[in-house]
Amino acid sequence: MRQSPIKMPYMHLLVTGGAGFIGSNFIHYWLARHPEDRITNLDALTYAGNLENLRHVPQDRYTFIHGSICDSTLVHQAMEHVDIVVHFAAESHVDRSIEGSRVFLETNVIGTQVLLEEMRRRGLQIKRFHHVSTDEVFGSLKLDSSEKFSESTPYDPRSPYSASKAASDHVVRSYFHTYQLPITLSNCSNNYGPYHFPEKLIPLMITNAMRDMPLPVYGDGKNVRDWIHVEDHCAGIEAVLLKGKIGETYCLGGNAERHNLDVVNEILALTGKPDSLIKFVEDRKGHDLRYAIDSSKAKRELGWEPKKTFEQGLTETVMWYKENEHWWKPLLKT
């Protein structure tokens, strides 16, 4: 496999979905650490896309284009003079995919193909296409197992969301094998941190606790997730872009497996709220039992590993939500 290109003196990145949670954090992270680079952000601004996330980025090195990755004309415009594509744009909430899956297939699969086709037409202009994916494509692990997902784990998606992401992963790899496009992929565990839309577990529990509202916990709360702070995830993507091998996949985990109920209890402790706020609700359809990622390949080949402990990262996240009510309160339905 060819190695990643050496960092050029100046790079122009196209970030898709850059107004979302992970995408906006990546834009902040990259512009702060690569002051010579510029970023174009292509985002459709669906329910979780929020330009408030990017209010403080340096505008002289940042351009925003409003639109869908399924729009081939707009994608053609967005890729002008771009060196690297970092593809975050996706419909991403499992519950929403259960309620209606079509938009997940359209955005996550067709949108990815539109981006790859535009890159293919441009020949050697774009040096790298990095596809950001999820550990959910691998399915579910047993609660009492020590097994973890790795780059060699067979795919076994179990929700419309994870199936759409699995399909997009395969499409990306097909363009590497068929057209020799310079692609890399990463599959990450559950992210948390600033700018996280408050329907996901950690921000929902924090914002509900702060308002003395019930904290809904699926089933018995024993499902396990591996948590990675979004800044550590951004550092992992940076490592893949600068050091990763073309055609390779890297699993990025947080080494922080927790039962959902334990996460909720930690949030209650950090917010000083009683556990009487916990409300057990009917379990999610097809709820995966456990996710866990083995990041040893990323550590070995890229020198990357997560820096924040879960306790440190969760404390910082709770504090961020306490200090930024002006950001999350307008997003709430109730």
Instruction: Return the active site residues.
Output: 135-136, 161
237-276 residues labelled b (16+ CB within 10 A) or e (exposed): bbbbbebbebbbbbbbbbbbbbbbbebbbbbbebbebeee
Distance CA 27, CA 248 (A): 23
Cβ neighbours of 121 (radius 10 Å): 11
Instruction: Strand 249-252: give its sheet, edge to edge.
Output: 62-66, 38-43, 12-16, 84-87, 128-134, 183-188, 249-252
Alpha helices in the chain (DSSP H): 21-33, 72-78, 94-99, 102-105, 111-121, 160-179, 201-210, 230-243, 260-271, 296-302, 310-323, 325-328
Distance CA 262, CA 239 (A): 31
Contact 277, 215 (CB under 8 A): yes
Residue 100, both tokens: 């209606």
Q: Tokens 């921000």 correspond to what residue?
A: 203
- Say whether 64 sits in a helix, a strand or coil: strand
Residue 299 makes CB contacts below 8 A (sequence gap 6+) with 305
Q: What amino acid is encoded at 207 in this protein? A: T
